[in-house]
């Protein structure tokens, strides 16, 4: 089967407008009957056929202006309904069809999850509900009537305002609800939920004084875990008013928690649908990290109400218009509410270990791709996180005030429309220059960031004139070739610089705009000393690039101690960690450097000068596996895995006393309620893991106890510390975690993930047992990701040299692809690095990819597998 390619260059406006849609949804025992009435207005005077999408729909009837349409006036394929000669004047098209949500395992369109019926339409799920153009530039007002059995489905929800609800006169066992959404929206924002749900309410008062009813719908028994999500929603609403001047625009806001969900959460207009793991939480059953994640996802979906819903995307090539911008907004929100420094470090680290990895492999693509086969494959870290970095660079280049002026213009100009990334960029530039200022960089050149894939490398060579006190930087940029893009043009790269002396920063920070292949930058009037001052470069990680610059250990240590930009300070530490870990991986441990880093860490602990424990924990965090693999000539995940352990163990011995000291101090804040105490809990996890690796038995005991304690953060930290160590405490801890949480599927998924990622000699057997476990739900993407994702991050088992891990993974993915292509095609990327491994491993992985390629695959998974196969 070959699937058509969709190209940006082929975009044409839809030749019809559909200002109004009425949906009538009748839920029966075995199926749902959908009747859609669309008011259709031809936009052109020339006659064109009316093309509607439809997937797995059983067509009943087609009626135009009250008259039945004869069968020879249309054609129907497995994916399209074409009316050959629709009226040239506005008309009403009524189509009745049937769907079967009860056997829909794809989790797209309408499907059942536990006792509930729920929908997921982004990106192209609406076509699984009824015949419709199903493209984001067709905006309509929706009025929806839902009818269902009142005991099985007491709650009936859709977008907008509830118009009426009540029993049916003809059948008192059934009831109906009518919803009306006054805001025109694309079909991907349509949502419908029916089920026996419990509701928890809250209220929010907007700046302009309107009261908004917030309703969170969960399954029976989950009501007690809703307050965190509701509080988060209120914070997000207040923040968007304060920072962006954007208010909520309806009288109610609904969130529904669903167990079976492909993604994290979905921003349907006034009816968000969330993966239940991103709603249900308190500090006993969620970690600090999870609480922060939930807060940010709730905010993200809320922020979409403006950046995504009120202003939507013209087509799916514009996806980053809403996702990159909304990620930038949720990142700023979290930074404002918590620590700017820590949030930025977390985001940079995530970018490096996911986006940079994607951008250097076979699935690399631009933030604005020019073609795709399955759009679901493009909800990637590049669209999201790199997209957010592009917005952040604009913000850096323009400054807060001018950026906000641009945002205001964008909202004013495009509210109620389907826009493009160019619309956005031009609004930002125009708004920022409204008072006649110069932009300060070339806008067209900046836009190359959207079209060029790959991570740019910036190479800096330094010349120090000690007599003149001038530091000259020879800066060149180079973006390596990526699939389909052999050569690249220079980009606009904001480079924030400062010079650090023995007493901290010297002079002001400087923002340099790089825009040439090579250019030279001079920093003048510096202290005239023999040695050049330390250079703090790409402060705040001012551009998503990799830096190539010779930095001595002395300079890194100086920056680690004295840089006033916390991100650059962390980066200096990361450079040392990388050096140490990579040297160990080459079996050439750099002992003197290790001693010096240990000394610096010791000072950080004992000086007590670091007031934010979360930031201290960042400095102690080692670089991720993906970024180390990328730095190796031949990626060796197994070796790196051992190296992490051996270094932790060495540090655990070396720093045993200061670590115990730190543990004592941290303990004092164990009980503090999130967000308080989270830094101390992070540091506790770190010390546990280093000390446990060093063989400290007391710590192991303490860790086992924590698994039964009142804090999920500490319980998980304990499990993580014990996980790499073959010991009875580890088995004991995993067992008691299971026993405690076996009745809570969301939490049990963590147990599945932990079990699957625990290195054991019989590792693959264990994975098979987990997949057969009575509490494993093969229909829940969360569970699949827990076990198979855990498996993929278990180097000794997944990367077993005989290829057994790869083969088993391929078999599983082929099976999953049959029922859920979206989940399968996302997971299949576990094979994307195969070309970076040593020959034997590489061949084994290649065989697994061939195994996949020769199977019957969905269009989604086929697209990814084809990209991963070697090109001939």
Q: Which stretch binds ligand BES (CB under 6 A): 56-64, 294-302, 782-790, 844-852?
A: 294-302
Lay out the site mask for ligand BES across 447-486 (x = CB under 6 A, - = otherwise): ----------------------------------------
Instruction: Give me 727's structure tokens.
Output: 């010991």
| Residue 834 binding partner per list Zn ion, ligand BES, none, with a CB distance cut-off of 5 to 8 Å that depends on partner kind | none
Q: 306 or 441, CB closer to ligand BES?
A: 306
Q: In angstroms, give the least distance from the CB of 136 to ligand BES.
A: 11
Q: Residue 355 burial by CB count (10 A; 0-12/13-18/19+): exposed, middle or buried?
A: buried
Q: In angstroms, give the least distance from the CB of 861 to ligand BES.
A: 16
Rule CB under 6 A: say whether 256 interacts with ligand BES. Answer: no
Residues 333 and 329: their CA atoms lie apart, in Å, by: 6
Asked if 822 contacts 863 with a C-beta cutoff of 8 angstroms, the reply is no
Residues 728 and 311: their CA atoms lie apart, in Å, by: 56
| Residue 122 binding partner per list ligand BES, Zn ion, none, with a CB distance cut-off of 5 to 8 Å that depends on partner kind | ligand BES
Q: 267 or 565, CB closer to ligand BES?
A: 267
Q: Residue 400 burial by CB count (10 A; 0-12/13-18/19+): exposed, middle or buried?
A: exposed
Q: Which of 259, 269, 304, 539 binds ligand BES (CB under 6 A)?
A: 304
Q: In angstroms, give the least distance from the CB of 267 to ligand BES.
A: 5
Q: Under rule CB under 6 A, how many of the chain's residues touch ligand BES?
A: 15
Name residues whose C-beta falls within 8 Å of residue 769's C-beta, 6 or more positions apart in sequence. none
Please give the residues from 318 up to 357 whose contact with ligand BES meets the rule CB under 6 A. 323, 327
Q: In which order are the strands placed within the sheet that holds 67-68? A: 67-68, 58-64, 91-99, 32-42, 16-27, 140-149, 174-185, 161-167
Q: 301 or 755, CB closer to ligand BES?
A: 301
Asked if 631 contacts 358 with a C-beta cutoff of 8 angstroms, the reply is no
Asked if 700 contacts 731 with a C-beta cutoff of 8 angstroms, the reply is no
Residue 163 backbone phi and psi in degrees, to 5:
-90, -45
Asked if 210 contacts 43 with a C-beta cutoff of 8 angstroms, the reply is no
Q: 323 or 817, CB closer to Zn ion?
A: 323
Of 226, 97, 96, 119, which is closest to residue 179 (Cα–Cα)?
A: 119
Of 696, 789, 685, which is closest to residue 288 (Cα–Cα)?
A: 685
Which long-range CB contacts under 8 A does 587-594 form with residues at least 24 apart? 593/553, 594/647, 594/650
Q: In angstroms, give the least distance from the CB of 697 to ligand BES.
A: 41
Rule CB under 6 A: say whether 265 interacts with ligand BES. Answer: yes
Q: Which stretch binds ligand BES (CB under 6 A): 189-197, 296-304, 499-507, 585-593?
A: 296-304
| Residue 788 binding partner per list Zn ion, ligand BES, none, with a CB distance cut-off of 5 to 8 Å that depends on partner kind | none
Identify the three-state secondary structure at position 550: coil
Q: 374 or 535, CB closer to ligand BES?
A: 374
Query: Which residue stretches of 780-858 are H helix?
Result: 781-784, 790-792, 795-798, 804-819, 821-827, 839-853
Instruction: Give me 278's structure tokens.
Output: 């991103």
Q: In angstroms, give the least distance from the CB of 92 to ligand BES.
A: 31
Rule CB under 6 A: say whether 263 interacts with ligand BES. Answer: yes
Instruction: Give me 308's structure tokens.
Output: 């995504």
Q: 323 or 423, CB closer to ligand BES?
A: 323
Q: Which of 306, 379, 450, 615 binds ligand BES (CB under 6 A)?
A: 379
Q: In angstroms, give the least distance from the CB of 322 to ligand BES.
A: 7
680 a catalytic residue: no
**Which residue carries 């870990």 as its tokens?**
581
Rule CB under 6 A: say whether 867 interacts with ligand BES. Answer: no
| Residue 297 binding partner per list Zn ion, ligand BES, none, with a CB distance cut-off of 5 to 8 Å that depends on partner kind | ligand BES
Please give the residues from 306 up to 335 whose contact with Zn ion meets the rule CB under 5 A. 323, 326
Annotated catalytic residue, options 108, 124, 267, 301? 301
| Residue 32 binding partner per list ligand BES, Zn ion, none, with a CB distance cut-off of 5 to 8 Å that depends on partner kind | none
Q: 285 or 298, CB closer to Zn ion?
A: 298
Residues 394 and 402: their CA atoms lie apart, in Å, by: 10
Orientation of helix 839-853 relative to helix 804-819, angle to 10°: 20
Q: Which stretch binds ligand BES (CB under 6 A): 217-225, 260-268, 341-349, 609-617?
A: 260-268
Residues 647 and 581: their CA atoms lie apart, in Å, by: 8
Q: 307 or 556, CB closer to ligand BES?
A: 307
Q: In angstroms, give the least distance from the CB of 127 to ligand BES.
A: 14
Rule CB under 6 A: say whether 274 interacts with ligand BES. Answer: no
Rule CB under 6 A: say whether 176 interacts with ligand BES. Answer: no
Q: Which stretch binds ligand BES (CB under 6 A): 259-267, 418-426, 441-449, 724-732?
A: 259-267
Of 320, 262, 319, 377, which is closest to residue 866 (Cα–Cα)?
A: 377
Rule CB under 6 A: say whether 297 interacts with ligand BES. Answer: yes
Lay out the site mask for ligand BES across 203-242 (x = CB under 6 A, - = otherwise): ----------------------------------------
- State the Cα angle at 393 between 391 and 395, rounded to 5°: 70
Instruction: Give me 735's structure tokens.
Output: 């067992």
Residue 315 backbone phi and psi in degrees, to 5:
-155, 175
Q: Which of 22, 176, 301, 347 binds ligand BES (CB under 6 A)?
A: 301
Question: Which positions are catalytic?
Answer: 301
List residues near Zn ion by CB under 5 A: 323, 326
List residues near ligand BES by CB under 6 A: 122-123, 263-267, 297, 300-301, 304, 323, 327, 379, 384
């Amino acid at each position: 089967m070959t699937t058509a390619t969709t190209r940006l260059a082929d975009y044409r406006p839809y030749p019809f407008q559909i200002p109004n849609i009425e949906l009538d949804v009748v839920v029966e025992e075995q199926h749902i009957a959908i009747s859609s009435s669309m008011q259709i207005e031809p936009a052109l005077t020339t006659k064109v056929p009316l093309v509607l999408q439809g997937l797995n729909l059983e067509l009943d009837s087609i009626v135009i202006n009250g008259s039945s349409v004869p069968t020879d006036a249309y054609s129907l394929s497995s994916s399209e309904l074409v009316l050959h000669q629709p009226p040239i004047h506005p008309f009403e098209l009524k189509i009745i069809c049937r769907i079967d949500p009860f056997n829909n395992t794809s989790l797209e369109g309408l499907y059942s999850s536990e006792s509930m019926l729920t929908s997921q339409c982004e990106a192209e799920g609406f076509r699984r509900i009824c015949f419709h153009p199903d493209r984001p530039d067709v905006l309509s007002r929706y009025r929806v009537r839902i009818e269902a059995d009142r005991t099985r489905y007491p709650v009936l929800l859709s977008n907008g305002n509830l118009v009426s609800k009540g029993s049916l006169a003809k059948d008192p066992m059934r009831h109906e609800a009518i919803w009306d959404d006054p805001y025109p929206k694309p079909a991907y924002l349509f949502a419908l939920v029916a089920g026996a749900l419990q509701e928890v309410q809250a209220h929010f008062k907007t700046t302009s004084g309107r009261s908004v009813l917030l309703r969170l719908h969960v399954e029976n028994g989950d009501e007690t875990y809703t307050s965190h999500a509701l509080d988060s929603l209120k914070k997000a609403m207040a923040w968007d008013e304060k920072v962006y001047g954007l208010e909520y625009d309806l009288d109610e806001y609904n969130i529904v928690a669903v167990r079976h969900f492909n993604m994290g959460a979905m921003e349907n207009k006034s009816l968000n649908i969330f993966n239940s793991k991103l709603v249900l939480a308190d500090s006993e059953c969620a970690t600090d990290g999870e609480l922060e994640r939930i807060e940010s996802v709730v905010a993200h979906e809320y922020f979409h109400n403006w950046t995504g819903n009120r202003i939507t995307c013209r087509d799916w090539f514009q996806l980053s218009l809403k996702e990159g911008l909304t990620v930038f907004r949720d990142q700023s929100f979290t930074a404002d509410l918590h620590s700017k420094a820590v949030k930025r470090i977390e985001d940079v680290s995530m970018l490096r270990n996911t986006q940079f990895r994607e951008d250097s492999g076979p699935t690399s693509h631009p933030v604005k791709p020019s073609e795709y086969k399955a759009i679901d494959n493009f909800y990637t870290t590049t669209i999201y996180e790199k997209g957010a970095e592009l917005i952040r660079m604009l913000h850096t280049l323009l400054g807060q005030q001018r950026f906000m002026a641009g945002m205001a213009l964008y909202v004013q100009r495009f509210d109620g429309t389907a826009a493009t990334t160019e619309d956005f960029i031009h609004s930002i530039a125009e708004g920022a220059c409204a008072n006649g200022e110069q932009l300060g960089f070339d806008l067209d050149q900046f836009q190359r960031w959207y079209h060029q894939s790959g991570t740019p490398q910036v190479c800096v060579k330094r010349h120090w004139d000690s007599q003149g006190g001038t530091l000259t930087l020879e800066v060149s940029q180079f973006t390596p070739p990526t699939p389909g893009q052999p050569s690249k043009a220079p980009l606009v790269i904001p480079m924030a610089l400062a010079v650090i002396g023995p007493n901290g920063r010297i002079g002001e920070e400087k923002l340099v705009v790089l825009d040439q292949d090579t250019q030279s930058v001079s920093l003048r009037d510096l202290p005239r000393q023999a040695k050049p001052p330390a250079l703090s470069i790409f402060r705040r990680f001012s551009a998503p690039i990799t830096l190539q610059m010779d930095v001595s250990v002395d300079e890194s240590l100086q920056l680690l101690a004295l840089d006033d930009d916390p991100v650059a300070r962390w980066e200096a530490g990361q450079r040392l960690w990388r050096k140490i870990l990579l040297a160990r991986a080459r079996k050439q441990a750099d002992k003197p450097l290790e001693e010096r880093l240990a000394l610096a860490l010791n000072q950080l602990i004992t000086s007590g000068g670091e007031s934010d424990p979360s930031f201290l924990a960042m400095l102690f965090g080692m670089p991720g596996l993906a970024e180390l693999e990328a730095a190796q000539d031949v990626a060796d995940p197994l070796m790196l895995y051992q190296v992490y352990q051996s270094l932790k163990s060495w540090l655990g011995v070396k720093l045993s006393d200061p670590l115990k000291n730190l543990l004592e101090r941290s303990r004092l804040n164990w009980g503090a309620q999130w967000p308080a105490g989270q830094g101390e809990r992070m540091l506790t996890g770190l010390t546990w893991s280093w000390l446990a690796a060093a063989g400290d038995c007391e710590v192991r005991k303490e860790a086992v106890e924590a698994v039964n304690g009142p804090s999920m953060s500490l319980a998980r930290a304990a499990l993580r510390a014990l996980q790499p160590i073959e010991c009875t405490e580890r088995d004991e801890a995993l067992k008691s975690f299971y026993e405690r949480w076996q009745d809570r599927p969301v939490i049990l998924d963590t147990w599945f993930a932990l079990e699957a990622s625990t290195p054991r000699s019989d590792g693959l057997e264990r994975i098979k047992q987990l997949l057969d476990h009575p509490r494993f739900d093969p229909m829940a993407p969360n569970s699949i990701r827990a076990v198979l994702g855990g498996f993929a991050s278990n180097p000794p088992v997944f990367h077993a040299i005989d290829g057994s891990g790869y083969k088993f993974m391929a078999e599983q993915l082929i099976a999953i692809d049959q029922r859920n292509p979206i989940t399968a095609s996302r997971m299949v990327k576990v094979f994307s690095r195969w070309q970076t491994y040593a020959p034997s491993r590489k061949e084994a992985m290649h065989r697994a990819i061939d195994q996949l390629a020769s199977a019957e695959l969905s269009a989604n998974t086929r697209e990814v597998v084809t990209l991963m196969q070697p090109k001939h």
